[in-house]
Structure 1
Amino acid sequence: MSQAVAWSDAATAAQLFAVDPVGTGVLLRSRAGPVRDRWLAMLRAALPPTDAHKHLPLHIAEGRLLGGLDLSATLVSGRPVAERGLLAEADGGVLMLAMAERMQSSTTVHVTAAMDAHETLIERDGLSLRMPARFGVVALDEGLEDEFAPASLRDRLAFHVDLDRFSFRDTEEFEINAADIEVARQRLPLIRATDEQIEAIVTAAAAMGIVSLRAPLLTIRVARAAAAWSGHTEIDQEDIGIAARLVLAPRALYFPQAEQPDQPEPPPEEPPPPEDNSEDNKDQDEQQIPDIDRALDEVILAAAKAAIPPDVLASLRASAGRTRARSSGKAGELQKSNKRGRPTGTVRGELRAGAKLSVIETLRSAAPWQPLRRREAAATAAEAIAAGGEAAPQPRILIRKDDFRIARFKQRTETITIFVVDASGSAALHRLAEAKGAVELLLADCYVRRDQVAMIAFRGTIAEILLPPTRSLARAKRSLAGLPGGGGTPLACGLDAAYALADSIKRKGQTPTVILMTDGRANIARDGAPGRPKAEEDAIASARQLRAANINAVLVDMSPRPGPQGEKIAKEMGARYLPLPYADATVLSQAVLASTQAA
């Protein structure tokens, strides 16, 4: 498909979205630039000026999104006054989602729920209200490579438009008359799809590997919008073809295998003479219906296949089901905090040391109770005056201890990768060379990944911290350079040292990850006595200690012939077992990163 045709389809998507914004929706995958600005300008020209246009920022508070108590109006009037949220304000218009690939999961849940129910539910601050929220969604996805908008949001948007493939010279302005859009909107409710068309669309979607039931429904909505835009009174094959190109093609994972060339058919037999039998004519008509359905299926598949650029289906299959990867340094545990991080709401609490009072939420909590508290205060003052005393002056807003709301935050903790290296035996030099190379490769990315690396070596009868947590590449090289090898394998001592270091890291609010590099053949017990049975028993006990502490771990079996010992230790640790009998520093580094991300 040429760039001109592809841009024409992108412009058609803008037109059809303007005809039925609530029933369709657009996922616009494009970086900021003149191409995206031109497409958005076409969309604004197509939408009637009376429609509401709202922009949803990335980090929006839940109260602003859904609505709640209007604090100022409530305090002035002395009674609860509801405030409309952004979703309710977008009713009858279009909601623009900025940076949809980074949208918070809670925001995604509220937006998709409003898209399904066409209303928002407010149950907070003593309010229980339902507000209409029928709006179209334009999600701006600026993600790179494997960054995508949430799957639940993508599934509900009919048009998936990718503008990164266009340069500005490939685009042109399309004149869109808002009056024609209004006429098409009036014609849209009168257009319906037939049962044969619905069956053909569902069959074609299944043939393309599309498992979502929303895709055929969105295809029907787009086909109706295309018919209304073209001035048709019913949906024809051209309208279905447009819908298949715009809705089904971007979602397709594969196409049916091409059929084998047809064998030469025998000459057709002489048809029997027609008979004046109404029952026979009825049977003949029923036999022709499957042929019509097959022809419509082929039209839909051909239209969708023509809209897909070459080699795109292969990449879609490769990326199907792939989750968004995170770098090891940014994948630390999400911990609650009352001092810093990303705001995540408030909680009822006391003003203890370090707690931050949310003044707005505290006033919001106290506002509905002001009339009752004023009456109680007036009654108390009247009793004081009747007893011959003086009434104390009352504040304008009566706040009690139960009204206090403490701000809560969440922040990603820093990740520290602890290498625990078996430095015993004749092959220690080979394993240490791989460990040194892996550590250096990881340190090279520390500034980007915000990660730290530590190293513990065990041999003979002891284990020592060779490299404390650091980002310094020079310090790591100096520490690794003079490490000797040889002696027994005190695996239990190495695991105990890893547990102690990981526990101290965890107490500081950071996230430890243990990478144990060994063959699992322990022969030195925890007390330094030789003997394989006692050494294995101590190693298993130390491994269970790491699992009980819920420390993320990976065991890299560096034995030339991986045996059951390493896998058994990994199971007791609750670690991922990674046998690598022949691995260089690069392979080891890649395997460690993949393991920590998967964990």
Structure 2
Amino acid sequence: MSLERHTFPFSAIVGQDVLKTALLINAVDPRVGGVLIRGQKGTAKSTAVRALAEILPEISVVEGCAYGCDPNEPRTLCAACAARDALPAVRRRPRLVDLPVSATEDRLVGTLDLEHALKSGERRYEPGLLAEANRGILYVDEVNLLEDHLVDALLDSAASGVNVVEREGVRHTHPARFLLVGTMNPEEGELRPQLLDRFGLCVDIEGIDDPAERVEVMRRRRSFEDDPSGFARRWSADGKALVRRIEKAQHLLGDVELDDDLLFLIASVCSSIGVDGHRADLVMARAAAAYALLEGRREVTPAHIRAVAPMVLAHRMRRTPFDEESYSQDRLESALAASGAGAEEGASDSPAASHAGDGDGEAAVLGMRLSVDQAGSSASREDVPTRLSLEIDRVRRSYGGKRQETTSNDLSGRYVRAEPLRPGAQRDIAFDATIRAAAPFQALRESEMAIALEPSDLRNKVRRRRVGASIVFCVDASGSMGASNRMEAAKSAVLDLLVDAYQRRDRVGLVAFRGDAAEVVLAPTASVELAQLKLRSLPTGGATPLAHGLVSALQLLETESRRNDDVIPWLVLVTDGRGNVGINGGLGSEDAITAAARIRDARINTIVIDTTGVPGGGSAARDIARTAGGEYVRLAALDASALTETVRERVWSA
């Protein structure tokens, strides 16, 4: 009995036209730079990527080469192929290589060939995933969760097209040109800007609510699961047609040229949007040419540029995550119109439109929205007089070290690499690295053991664990703040704090207190969109139940700490400190001080932002900060930049 793995056919994926177009553009011209696919779970992200590998045309590779070198491209040959007199070739499909987020660095870049070293005493390189992915697809699911040291290795190889390995006595270089495809759920954290820009195209996808279209999704999936082979046969004709379409476009790619007017148009659009660098210009030119060929055209038109522009610019626009989506779309439309690439009557100006007449294989069943990914702001720029940015990166804790990612001093955390065992260090032996260190010397050592080890061979594991902050904003939404016209300034401060925290993969929550109670507006989350939405609808007015707010915030942070004992808790209190509603009939001011003492006992890092306009500050807010063991800052006394530096200094030194 043979177990055959079946892949859902690319043509059978319902809807998702922009996603499929982005993948096909890269299939035609891998120099476009790959695709980042952002969307919720269950929106066919991984399915589309795996299906793409099945329709890529075959390539010619040097027989027996571990890197799949192209025999017709002498400049890109590995050292072994370059030294050969003859280069026999075979045909095969490009490989799809999965990079797990849990991979170690030696698995990615390659390492010492242990078996060869043990047998011969010679050091030889053992290829890793980058070698396997050369001239193929390197696929990273949940790419936003990839460890920083793996991201760095990816960036180096993606930029140069070469993997350089210098480790464990091995120095080796080999070609590493691959199509980088990443998928991610934005709610689980953002992507490092350096890696974000490395993706040529970016698409945002989502499911739909139309019941009839969802039924079609279920029908196809059930049909595939009941009879994978039969389902694949029914869609094979469409798949072969796509292969021919890609092959034809690849063959004609060198014949497509963009005249100076089109190049000026591309430059104008990118300049108007305000992207950094020139990568967007180059990507847009290549993507437009590939897209034109997919449509059967050898001439690139402004309509083709308009079609690919959102995919090129979606992740490169300068913005804050709180800009309105409509504002972002308007910016793009304005830039296109001003540059002469506005919508043309009857023009196919979007990938979805180009597939509108396709058969069942291209049916638009799964709804999809391509958008420049930005969220809305709860207040206009004119309405917010003061803004506060607080960086809380690299906060140190006695047991952890760097806040975002720390080298563990105990046996917890993920094993990422090895280092020589230092005298007095806690032993956490890395057996794989120890054996690799000893392997080249086995021929020189006499021992009855299978492997002769010496103290100098011992390697210790270096473990890393991610340490995040859980930040709860406790915001005074009572009438006292509304009367002093400070609520909008406080909202602005909270928004900037949320932006800064979200970019660093922290969890953020928000408690508002007004009237006679406190409300958990937002439980700690990593979703900046959800945080922005909740903050936008923040109510105001009524009395000031400050103690209720402090207790609610404390309970949230204690819950977070129980879930993850590595979390660093922060409470940012935005108030004038004048609590006038107590708990269970008590005095508001006394209960607030009692709650602040509980916060101190729980070792919660606290910042009290006093919003009174009283010279010298409000004594009530100051007393709360002192009792909680926190830092006191009066908002009215500082502009945004000065306040940012003041808070940053205190947080970094904590």
Instruction: Please name the residue that 2:132 is paired with.
Output: 89
Matched-pair identity in %: 24
Deviation at 1:132, TM superposition (A): 0.6
1:274-316 per-position Cα deviation (integer Å, ceiling 9, x unaligned): xxxxxxxxxxxxxxxxxxxx99931168799979999966945
Give the equivalent residue in structure 1 for 2:553.
441
User: 1:96–1:139: 8 Å Cα contact kept in structure 2?
Assistant: yes
1:24–1:222 Cα contact (<8 Å) kept: no
| 2:408 aligned partner, one-letter code | K
Q: Report the Cα distance in structure 2 between the residues aligned to 1:409 and 1:256, rounded to whole angstroms.
A: 45
SS at match of 2:103: coil
Counterpart of 1:561 (choices 601, 605, 614) is: 614
Q: Which residue is 1:193 aligned to?
A: 258
Give the corresponding residue for 1:138.
Answer: 181
Letter paired with 1:355: R
Distance 1:322 1:565 in 2: 22
* Equivalent residue, structure 1, for 2:200: 158
Q: What is the root-mean-square deviation in Å for CA atoms of aligned residues?
A: 5.3
Select the residue among 432, 441, 448 that pairs with 1:369: 441
| Match in the other structure for 2:339 | 297
SS in 2 for 1:160: strand
**What TM-score do the two structures reach when normalised by structure 1?**
0.60
Aligned-residue offset at 1:513: 4.4
User: Offset of 1:42 from its aligned partner?
Assistant: 4.9
Task: State which drifts further: 23-32 or 125-134.
Answer: 23-32
Q: Please, which runs of 5 or more residues in structure 2 have no aligned partner? A: 1-12, 59-92, 218-234, 318-327, 353-367, 382-387, 473-542, 571-582, 637-646
Higher mean C-alpha displacement, 171-180 vs 401-410: 171-180
Cα distance, 1:555–1:31 mapped onto 2, change above 3 Å: closer
Which protein shows a greater Rg?
1
Map residues 405-484 of structure 1 onto 2, 5 A cutoff. Answer: 405-411=459-465, 434-435=546-547, 437-444=549-556, 446-448=558-560, 450=563
- In the alignment, is the contact (CA less than 8 A) between 2:202 and 2:314 conserved in 1? no
Task: Name the amino acid aligned to 1:242.
Answer: A
Give the SS at the match of 1:299.
Answer: coil
In the alignment, which residue of structure 2 is the partner of 1:208? 273
What is the aligned counterpart of 2:247 among 173, 182, 193?
182
State the Cα distance separating 1:6 from its structure 2 match: 8.2
**Residues 219-228 or 312-321, more deviating:** 312-321
Match of 1:398 among 440, 452, 458: 452
CA distance change for structure 1 residues 75 and 335 in 2, over 3 Å: closer, same or farther?
closer
Deviation at 1:92, TM superposition (A): 0.9
1:264 — aligned with what?
none
- 2:158 corresponding residue in structure 1: 115
8 Å CA contact 1:215, 1:247 repeated in 2: yes
* Counterpart AA for 1:159: L
1:75 aligns with 2:75: no
Which runs of 5 or more structure 1 residues have no equivalent in the other structure?
260-293, 378-392, 419-430, 456-476, 503-511, 516-553, 582-591
The partner residue of 2:38 within 29, 34, 53 is: 29
Q: Which moved more, 1:89-98 or 1:358-367?
A: 358-367
Which fold has the larger relative contact order, with Cα–Cα distance below 8 Å and residues 6 or more apart in sequence?
2
After superposition, the C-alpha distances for 1:237-276 in whole angstroms (9 at most, x for unaligned) are 34333332432356554656999xxxxxxxxxxxxxxxxx
Counterparts of 2:186 and 2:421, CA distance in 1: 39
Contact 1:249 1:307 in 2 (8 A): no
1:448, distance to aligned residue in structure 2 (A)? 3.9
Q: Distance in 1 between matches of 2:39 and 2:107?
A: 27
Aligned partners of 1:67 and 1:84 also within 8 Å: yes
> What does residue 578 of structure 1 align with?
633
Aligned residue in 2 for 1:55: 98
Deviations 1:473-495 (A, max 9, x none): xxxx99x9899959xx9xxxx9x
For 1:465, the equivalent position in structure 2 comes to none
8 A Cα contact 1:333 1:412, kept in partner: yes
Rounded Cα–Cα distance in structure 2 between residues aligned with 1:188 and 1:19: 8
Which whole-Å CA distance do the structure 2 matches of 1:451 and 1:193 have between them? 55
- 2:413 counterpart residue number: 341
Distance 2:549 2:611 in 1: 15
Residue 471 of structure 1 is matched in structure 2 by none
Residue by residue over 1:110-153, the C-alpha shift from the partner in whole angstroms, topping out at 9 and shown as x without a partner, is 11221111111100111111111111011011231x73233222
* Conserved? CA contact 1:35–1:166, under 8 Å: no
- Structure 1 CA distance, aligned partners of 2:42 and 2:102? 23
Is the contact between residue 218 and residue 247 of structure 1 (CA under 8 Å) also seen in structure 2?
Answer: yes
**1:356 aligns to what SS in structure 2?**
coil
Count of equivalent residues: 440
CA shift, 1:565, in A, is 9.6
